[in-house]
Every structure is written in C-alpha cells, then in structure tokens.
Amino acid sequence: MAQKEFAGHMVDVNEEGYFTNPQQWNKEIAAAVAKEEGLELSDKHYAIIEFLRTRFNSGEALSIRSINKSGIVDVKEFYALFPGAPLKKSTKIAGIPKPSSCI
C-alpha cells in the first residue's frame, strides 16, 4: 500500500491516488488534494463532498445521477465545479474510494 502526503499528513492511497482509509480525511487534506487537481474549494464544493462522504458511509452507490437528485447542484453545475471527470475528482477530494461506476 502506498502513502502520500497532503497538508503535512501521510494518508494511505491506492495506485490511482484514491484514499484506502477514508478515516484519514479532513478538510485541510481535501483542500490540498483539490489544489493538486487544479481546484480551489468553495462552500458548494464542500457541500457536494459532504454529500458524497455521507452516501459512502451509509453504503449507498455513488453516481452522477445521485448528485443531480441531491438538491445541492444539477449535473451541469457539478461538471462546472469538478471539470473533466467530476465524480472521479470529487470522490478523490472527498477521501473515498473511486466509485465502481467510474472507469
């Protein structure tokens, strides 16, 4: 298992850089991961991240469709906040494993 340093904290990650231990996550680390991904987090970003972490912790599947139904943002805004691969980027920043729906 690999480790990577974010904001002065060593975290366990897989070969793609996703956390293997979501308990190691905090907002300071999220900001450092986001910076590495070329993003600066806003309150809207944090709302999505908290939504993803809550769904993950309850064992629910993560998908772009669930983001759209969250009431936080619609799909268009989700893509604007996390450009490129929004679900992959947002879960990486949220400190949770990459969803199985992402290739």
Other CB atoms within a 10 A radius of the CB of residue 86 amount to 20
For 93, the 3-state DSSP assignment is helix
**Catalytic-role residue among 36, 61, 102, 103:** 102
In terms of DSSP H, where are the helices of the chain? 27-36, 43-57, 64-69, 75-81, 86-93
Does the active-site annotation cover 50?
Answer: no
The residues carrying an active-site annotation are: 102
